[in-house]
Structure 1
Amino acid sequence: MTTHTTTKAHAPLIPLPTGAARTGVLAGAALALIGTFLAWTWTEEFPGDLTVTGYPGGLQVVTLVGALLTLLFTLSGMGIRGLTWLTPGGKNSPVLLTALGVLGTTGYALAAISAQLGGIVNLEPGAWVSGIGALIAVIAALGLPADVPRAETDTTGTWGRFKNALKAPPASRAKELPASVEILIITAAFGTGLYIFAYGIDAYSELFVGFLITTALGATALFRAGLVDRLNRLTAKHRTITLTAALIAAACFPFTQTDESYALIGANILIFATVALGLNVVVGLAGLLDLGYVAFLGVGAYTAALVSGSPQSTFGVQFPFWAAVLTGAAASLVFGVVIGAPTLRLRGDYLAIVTLGFGEIFRITMNNLNGSAGPDVTNGSQGIPNIPDLELFGFNFGTPHDIAGFTLGRSGNYYLLMLLFTAVVVMVFRRSGESRIGRAWVAVREDETAATAMGINGFRVKLIAFALGATLAGFAGTVQAHVSYSITPEQYLFANTVPPNSAFLLAAVILGGMGTISGPLLGAALLYLIPAKLQFLEDFQLILFGLALILLMRFRPEGLVANKRAQLEYHETGQLDVPEQRLPDSTDVGTAKAGA
């Protein structure tokens, strides 16, 4: 067992001997784990069947996983042989974070049971055992020393001390492993990610809240422990293996689902993520604030709907799928150039206002092309329904197919098609970001005046970014038209509770990490999945969602996946509370190629 010399800078929030604090965490986490094997309530009316003794279910499983992680991190911090690799960066911050996750999940479960069933009398002993154990673990974890010295400005006040308690130093360099072992680790990481994602989509409303609490704090604990940093180093070393593993894991998702509605959620997430990646070209690389970007998605969707053989289409034509895709992308490209040419000489807030106006003009125009207020093209507010399913090389996407012993339904078919589209968009984004024009975008984003002085045509560069972003959005819109069966103007509002819309797209880029590839993909997945799963909260849905965004921007302003430039911009020198990370698909062209 290792010992630590506690200085004033490392002083814990609660004055406890380090050994006693770790013993308390172990006892509390063990108690919380034991409680999951006891009944939490007496009736099956609460989802998840928490009445069985000896077999955890629902929220009990989530609490069990959180308690197990807390035990493992604590034992690793104690120097137990064979577990020290779990905490290469910070030994105490991960313990506090996972303990908070257990307390948050258990506390939510107790509150939900009491609220739904009519009081705390409906709680069985197992719920109290887990709740008390989680509370003991958190109190004891607050008695552990901080992993990094606290700045003098942060030593006063409980909030400053608590915030510093969550900081961890960068992970140390790990010894070299055989290439086969490193590849196995990468494969296992993506397999685990696939399982967690599939579990989250399959989770019912109450279970999803507990899953979200544990996953958020557990992922942060892995990051603070330094495991994510080490995984990033491996993925950067084996870039091709990483991209292949990511694609295979994503392709396996529909085969893990037995409910078509969950596969449909996955397809819509990919549509949202692809459009967010297109917006990342405009916002993340070129630095242009576009508040009407969802209109380009609508242009592609409407174009595909009009030429794909819908009985309600006024064009009366049916293009092959490849021709419909090219037509939709070309239409969005034309609109991008037409809108961008007269407006991109504006900057900042003025450009944002103009693009916001374009988004509203598009929606109103689609409403007015109804044969009454204007020509009969789009059927007005009724939109274009009955869009036929795609058929490509004899493969009908609207009918189930048996593949390798699995039955893949309509939603699964479109998911795999959209995954192919996403891969194409990722390739385009990556190649363009690493090219000369990509470096010019970053130069214009950082300082357009200086870029112009160095010979860069700022207007031409921005117009190319605007046109490329519009094309990628229209590209995804052609698939969205077929997935949703019908297209209406109300689907393309600036903001509503159902993404994709301009507000959620912009949030996905900023929260995920501007200028990266995996950032907008992750941000889009979270921003689509969370509102879809929190619908049972009704009026409180947006309140809690907004609060979560505020907290994320407070503690992670550079985004979930950030390049080093963003970290340096949002954190003072020497006060970075995150280790430098280089995701294999990050496009930190501003830092890596600024002098090219």
Structure 2
Amino acid sequence: MTTQITEPETPTAPARGAQASGLFGIPAPVGRALAAGGGVLTVAATFLAWTWTAEFPGDLTVYGYPGGLQVQVLIGGVLTTLFALASHGVRGVRRIAPAGADAAVKLAALGTFATAWYTVLAISVELGGLVNLEPGGWIVAVTSLAALVGALALPFERPEPDPVDPDSTAWEKTAHRLAHGWQTVKAAFAAGSPRPLRALPSWAELLVIVVILALGLTVFTYGIGTSYDELFVGFLLLAGFGFAALHKAGLVAHATQITGRHQNVTLCGAFVAAALFPFTQTDDQYATLGVYILIFATVALGLNIVVGLAGLLDLGYVAFLGVGAYAASLVSGSPTSPFDVHFPFWAAVLIGAVASLVFGVLIGAPTLRLRGDYLAIVTLGFGEIFRITANNLDGTSGPDLTNGSNGISSVPNLDILGFDFGAPHSVGGFTIGRFANYFFLMLIITAVVVLVFRRSGNSRIGRAWVAIREDETAALAMGINGFRVKLIAFAVGACLAGLAGTVQAHVTYTVTPEQYLFAGTIPPNSAFLLAAVVLGGMGTIAGPLIGAALLFLIPNKLQFLGDYQLLAFGVALILLMRFRPEGLIPNRRSRLEFHDAADAPEALGRTGA
């Protein structure tokens, strides 16, 4: 007698042709066709005129040649069409969505709709009414809406509501219904069933890395070079939803896996791509933002050692940047410096880095025995004490050392081995201006900081930092000298900040106390530095670099919002932390910590190991 063993049935996703429906009750095949058709018509509408006058930025009056915001809508329409075809199972196209295309087409259609309707509304508001729209503007509004309706009609697994307590009040029942509705909306954008991607040969993976880096350089160059406010807002909308669509499709996860297998190649390629940035600019206007972003990113990476690896909450870290900047400016030949000396750059760098390191040890030695909020309050106090002290060393309230609120001005440009950083130079037919010269210098310093971070993070002391961060009591019980380990982290982080400060002093010409506030509208300051580390991903290299770039670029471009700038920026951060609490580029441990046990495998699978 034999016993037949049957495997338990597992729920499967509905077939492609099944009449499953999404939010609007439209059958799935109809929704896919509507999304694909709406995407195609949206692309076609970008080749029509959207307004009759060139007064709206970007000149959207030309037929047959998209410009300005039309280009962004065109890209969104192409993504929507491709993901809709992949969701329909079209051969050759479905490979672009290895994790399923249903969620990706929803996000792509939403980004296209948001960008198109923002443009139409901006034209109407700035030019004085809907009468200023040409047929192309009306068509793109209808087609993008149709694509979004079709995308939201794709099937999704509707979550079962929790039972309602019959004794609940009316307010509690209403809150329960709202919570269930929110879960339903989240399920509508959930990822589809994953499809494994075939392994690629090494040469193909290297080619993929080149494409990724080229795409990253193109997106960054386009974002930093947006010449008017409406174009940058549209760029934020499309870039945000477009990245989310690629993420849901599984492309970001596979890209992460490929770059993870070739870390050294990816890192070297990233620096090469960054070095090409000044050659994409015709003048120093946007190269200026580039060098400030590198300074901010380098300091954020140094703070990542303190916060991300060692777990020490430092709210006054910008003071170490100021110590390095003041030390370098005092010995670099400034006419307002009380010291009549002009050291070469290598000596000024050493003085700035060592001065910050000494201050890090002096501040850390008596305070690092504190933990948590107490340590944060002490470091916040140190940052304010530094700024107030620098403001008082003016010869009246104290010794004449920092020239008070006027600061150290007229810091001369660097001259290294006869290369004047303040003069333009011709390289391969391209004219490289002052800020481009400093951009290359900061790129070298960033490479040094990245090398220090990688080596220290993978060393014995780096493992001790992580142990202290996770559980200091357990680490102490295992024989780790907690105070010494934390002091080393504090000193190394301070030294790296001082290194960047020496370059900042020469780039800005002037070093003043107001540059080193705890919080402000424009970074670098301690609040933005900490936000860059948390937003980008604590304990990683790419995370703080990307987070710092976003946190410097976005406030700089959103200055037209005036008093509402920080409000809009704060709302964006809240939303990002709600949907991406582990950061943009999280490490493996963070992905596990910020997701439930049931979601951990999916979180690891979609973002790579």
Compute the TM-score of the two structures, normalised by the length of structure 1.
0.94
Q: CA deviation at 1:471?
A: 0.5
Provide the residue aligned with 1:190 in structure 2. Answer: 213
Give deviations 1:183-220, integer Å, cap 9, x for gaps: 11110110111011001111121101101110111111
Q: Does 1:354 align with 2:354?
A: no
Aligned ranges 1:91-106 → 2 under 5 Å: 91-106=101-116
Provide the residue aligned with 2:225 in structure 1. Answer: 202
Provide the residue aligned with 2:518 in structure 1. Answer: 494
Give deviations 1:376-401, integer Å, cap 9, x for gaps: 11110001111111111111111111
Distance change in 2, residues 1:437/1:170 (3 Å): farther
Provide the residue aligned with 1:83 in structure 2. Answer: 93
Tell me the number of residue pairs that the alignment of Structure 1 and Structure 2 aligns. Answer: 580
Distance change in 2, residues 1:511/1:7 (3 Å): farther
More deviation, 82-91/280-289: 82-91
Give deviations 1:315-334, integer Å, cap 9, x for gaps: 11111101100100000000
Q: Does 1:390 align with 2:400?
A: no
Aligned ranges 1:415-494 → 2 under 5 Å: 415-494=439-518
Larger radius of gyration: 2
Q: CA deviation at 1:126?
A: 1.0
Distance change in 2, residues 1:529/1:224 (3 Å): same
Aligned ranges 1:114-263 → 2 under 5 Å: 114-146=124-156, 150=159, 157-168=180-191, 171-204=194-227, 205-263=229-287
Q: CA deviation at 1:71?
A: 0.5
Q: CA deviation at 1:43?
A: 1.3
Q: Distance in 2 between matches of 1:408 and 1:500?
A: 25
Distance change in 2, residues 1:259/1:251 (3 Å): same
Aligned equivalent of 2:361, options 326, 329, 337: 337
| 8 Å Cα contact 2:592-2:604 kept in structure 1 | no
1:384 aligned counterpart, secondary structure: coil
Give deviations 1:349-394, integer Å, cap 9, x for gaps: 1111111110000000010010110111111000111111111111
| 8 Å Cα contact 1:103-1:138 kept in structure 2 | yes
Give deviations 1:539-579, integer Å, cap 9, x for gaps: 22111111100100110011011112112211111124644
Q: CA deviation at 1:256?
A: 0.2
Q: Distance in 2 between matches of 1:433 and 1:149?
A: 43
Q: Distance in 1 between matches of 2:16 and 2:282?
A: 53
| 8 Å Cα contact 1:168-1:578 kept in structure 2 | no
Aligned residue identity for 2:121: A
| 8 Å Cα contact 1:22-1:141 kept in structure 2 | yes
2:426 aligned counterpart, secondary structure: strand
Provide the residue aligned with 2:7 in structure 1. Answer: none
| 8 Å Cα contact 2:111-2:242 kept in structure 1 | yes
Aligned residue identity for 2:119: A
1:157 aligned counterpart, secondary structure: helix
2:341 aligned counterpart, secondary structure: coil
Q: CA deviation at 1:581?
A: 6.4
Provide the residue aligned with 1:524 in structure 2. Answer: 548
Q: Does 1:276 align with 2:286?
A: no
1:407 aligned counterpart, secondary structure: strand
Provide the residue aligned with 1:588 in structure 2. Answer: none
Distance change in 2, residues 1:448/1:216 (3 Å): same
More deviation, 511-520/80-89: 80-89
1:43 aligned counterpart, secondary structure: coil
Provide the residue aligned with 2:533 in structure 1. Answer: 509
Q: CA deviation at 1:134?
A: 1.1
Q: Distance in 2 between matches of 1:574 and 1:510?
A: 24
Give deviations 1:30-51, integer Å, cap 9, x for gaps: 2221221111111111111111
Aligned residue identity for 1:401: H
Q: CA deviation at 1:239?
A: 2.2
Q: Distance in 1 between matches of 2:112 and 2:240?
A: 11
| 8 Å Cα contact 1:170-1:579 kept in structure 2 | no
Q: Distance in 1 between matches of 2:192 and 2:268?
A: 31
Q: Distance in 1 between matches of 2:220 and 2:418?
A: 32
Q: CA deviation at 1:158?
A: 2.6
Q: Distance in 2 between matches of 1:177 and 1:443?
A: 37
Q: CA deviation at 1:149?
A: 7.5
RMSD across aligned C-alpha pairs, in angstroms? 1.9
Q: CA deviation at 1:170?
A: 7.7
| 8 Å Cα contact 2:100-2:195 kept in structure 1 | no
Provide the residue aligned with 1:291 in structure 2. Answer: 315
Q: CA deviation at 1:304?
A: 0.7
Distance change in 2, residues 1:151/1:7 (3 Å): farther
| 8 Å Cα contact 1:105-1:210 kept in structure 2 | yes
Provide the residue aligned with 1:594 in structure 2. Answer: none
Aligned residue identity for 2:389: T
Q: Distance in 2 between matches of 1:111 and 1:494?
A: 38
| 8 Å Cα contact 2:103-2:192 kept in structure 1 | no
Q: CA deviation at 1:528?
A: 0.3
Q: CA deviation at 1:80?
A: 1.6
Which blocks of at least 5 consecutive residues in structure 2 are unaligned? 1-12, 163-175
Q: Does 1:22 align with 2:32?
A: yes
Give deviations 1:271-313, integer Å, cap 9, x for gaps: 0000000111111111111110000000001111111111111
| 8 Å Cα contact 1:398-1:410 kept in structure 2 | yes
Q: Distance in 2 between matches of 1:139 and 1:380?
A: 61
Aligned residue identity for 2:205: E
Provide the residue aligned with 1:560 in structure 2. Answer: 584
Q: Distance in 1 between matches of 2:21 and 2:159?
A: 9
More deviation, 233-242/101-110: 233-242
Q: Distance in 2 between matches of 1:367 and 1:151?
A: 61
Give aligned-pair identity as a percent: 61
Q: Distance in 2 between matches of 1:30 and 1:4?
A: 26
| 8 Å Cα contact 1:170-1:226 kept in structure 2 | no
| 8 Å Cα contact 1:106-1:134 kept in structure 2 | yes
Which blocks of at least 5 consecutive residues in structure 1 are unaligned? 585-596
Q: Distance in 1 between matches of 2:160 and 2:418?
A: 65
Q: Distance in 2 between matches of 1:173 and 1:32?
A: 31
Compute the TM-score of the two structures, normalised by the length of structure 2.
0.92
Q: Distance in 2 between matches of 1:203 and 1:69?
A: 21
Give deviations 1:129-175, integer Å, cap 9, x for gaps: 111111111111111123x7857669973321111222225854422
Aligned residue identity for 1:68: V
Distance change in 2, residues 1:14/1:389 (3 Å): same
2:276 aligned counterpart, secondary structure: helix
